[in-house]
Structure 1
């Protein structure tokens, strides 16, 4: 990615510092700081990070050519596991949600309007599961756009058992139009629920589980096109052999 010349950013997942990893959370954080925009001119990694749960929590202002704010892109760490043990997934904590809310309200005041924003995180919120269950029941509370959820683990949606208040706060603020996650390797569905697009990104994974290297239906990229009026289009770019 550093060789493309295109600015890029990422969010941490739950596998980055598991038992087989060669670096711990602190070491990995310092590594990416050393490769951040100051030295690479492409990686958007915050050298100074907010004093909240997680790493690499940041927001990026996407502005039009006339310097008007088009989107605020929030990258929020969904963390990894709780102290209860492996596969007890963590969640986006209250202090992270408060940080998101404070910055939305600050930008609203600066721009004198309700700004448009998108949120990116790794593990799905519980509302992804709620929306999918409604979709399975053919409910008119959700709108289907594309994709399928074909996860082969025990659950179709592998979310945390601990509820995050992020979705409800986002609904109240009326700023965020889309949320994007990964985590469930075979899921790539996009549904709208309570006015927010809940989208799984397509996968580039070849290693997570036996046989996935031979599977291609879930593989590809997700393209978000942002228009000058802050509207967005989301489409899948499937992998082609």
Structure 2
């Protein structure tokens, strides 16, 4: 009996050690991201860099990391937003996921730059093999010293929906806000017995996400006594991106686009569809009504880089950062690889002063 009891105890202890080891490897105890305060610099300026669609496996293309390093050194931003599709389906193990995330985090971590992520439609493509879903990956992201992601509200669709308040240079009042949305992955096979043949089949923001945004925006205004200007980042673009490009919901001609260029001050390229979901969930209308969001920026469509002003809210893309994902094809395949930069000034009327694309080829990266 004593031998059996001892054997049982040893088995239990070994099991506990195994479980604890696995949890320590891929989970995070919490480093207190809430203590990572965001604040305008003493000159009242603040800079954001957006990286999109790194979309690679554990052996991230060296040119992607070179581009990230070069942009960060050139711009010295205050925060970097990695706006979805960091990973691909070609990852086979949980260890390889961690390896990929370590590589992606390194440019910001080495420089002490704060950063955050949103999730895209490809980030869970590896999950059936690796066993790590968005919740697991968010925990890993949050374990890095300079990451400022938060778990997000419970009972709201998606992972990591949150807002990041940036205080003014005196640290006395919120001067700006960053919204991070999980725009989902793919539409279900069918709804109400009807499939989506003939429709675009990416995901859409759910009504509870729209409600969460509106309620949080209102609470922020009540707390501060004023609307806090903001930018919103989500991987999959809103349907309004397409309407803005043509200044029409139905007329899809070059003539209508030329009218849109003047009407909506559009700059940049559109080389593929605005690949959005089959439903418009009303997020743009909610933002228009609240009046705090100054711009919505996406990725997803790697070879679109345009931005315009759609009834007071900028709608725009950042081209693909990742050299491992698809590009224009042919000799110009990598021409639009890059990052988007946002310059903020707490003394400007809308705080957002300007935004522009930086391209890898401008730095000699190809």
Using the size of structure 2 for normalisation, the TM-score is 0.59
1:42 paired with 2:160, answer: no
Aligned counterpart, 1:9: 116
* Deviation by residue 1:25-51 (Cα, 9 ceiling, x = unmatched): x63422331441xx4221122145432
Counterpart CA distance in 2 for 1:63 and 1:47 is 21
Which residue matches 1:237? Answer: 358
Cα distance in 2 between the residues matched to 1:212 and 1:15: 24
Work out the number of aligned pairs and report it: 234
Correspondence for 1:170 among 282, 287, 309: 287
Q: Mark the CA change 1:161 to 1:213 in structure 2 (over 3 Å): closer, same or farther.
A: farther
Structure 1: tracts of 5 or more residues without a match: none
Are the aligned partners of 2:187 and 2:277 in contact in 1 as well (CA < 8 Å)? no
CA contact (8 A) 1:122 1:182 kept: yes
Match of 2:303 in 1: 186
For the aligned residue pairs, the C-alpha RMSD in angstroms reads: 2.4
Deviations 1:94-132 (A, max 9, x none): 100110111110111111112211100001111001111
Correspondence 1:122-137 to 2 at 5 A:
122-134=235-247, 136-137=257-258
Alignment-derived partner of residue 230 in structure 2: 117
Secondary structure of 1:10's aligned partner = strand
> Where is the helix percentage greater, Structure 1 or Structure 2?
2
Task: Return closer, same or farther for 1:96/1:138 CA change in 2, 3 Å cut-off.
Answer: same
Distance 2:148 2:240 in 1: 28
Residue by residue over 1:151-186, the C-alpha shift from the partner in whole angstroms, topping out at 9 and shown as x without a partner, is 2xxxx2111111121000101111111000001010
Q: Give the whole-Å Cα distance in 1 for the aligned partners of 2:354 and 2:226.
A: 22
CA 1:92–1:207: 2 relative to 1, 3 Å? same
- What residue in structure 2 maps to residue 146 of structure 1? 267
- 1:111 & 1:20 partners in 2: Cα distance? 41
Residues 141/98 of structure 1: CA separation in 2 closer, same or farther (3 Å cut): farther
Larger radius of gyration: 2
Residue in 2 aligned with 1:27?
A: 133
What secondary structure sits across from 1:98 in the alignment?
A: helix
Aligned position for 2:341: 223
1:212–1:89 distance in 2 versus 1, CA, 3 Å? farther
Higher RCO by CA contacts (8 Å cutoff, separation 6 or greater): 2
State the alpha-carbon separation in 1 of the partners of residues 170 and 330 from structure 2.
Answer: 45
**Unaligned ranges ≥5, structure 2:** 1-104, 191-195, 248-255
User: How far apart are 1:62 and its partner, in Å?
Assistant: 0.9
Mapped contact 1:141–1:194 kept (Cα < 8 A): no
Q: Judge conservation of contact 1:141–1:193 (CA < 8 Å) in 2.
A: no
> Quick check: 2:231–2:293 contact (8 Å CA) kept in 1?
yes
**2:238·2:276 contact (CA, 8 Å) conserved in 1?**
yes
Deviates more, 1:70-79 or 1:230-239: 230-239
- SS of the equivalent of 2:295 reads strand
Check whether the contact 1:220–1:238 (CA below 8 A) recurs between aligned residues.
Answer: yes
Q: Distance in 2 between matches of 1:21 and 1:232?
A: 43
Say whether the 8 Å CA contact 1:9–1:44 is kept in structure 2.
Answer: yes
Do the aligned partners of 1:116 and 1:175 also contact (CA within 8 Å) in 2? yes
- Cα 1:108–1:192 change in 2 (3 A) is same
Distance 2:334 2:168 in 1: 36
In 2, Cα distance between equivalents of 1:54 and 1:32: 12
Q: 2:182 aligns with which of 40, 56, 77?
A: 77
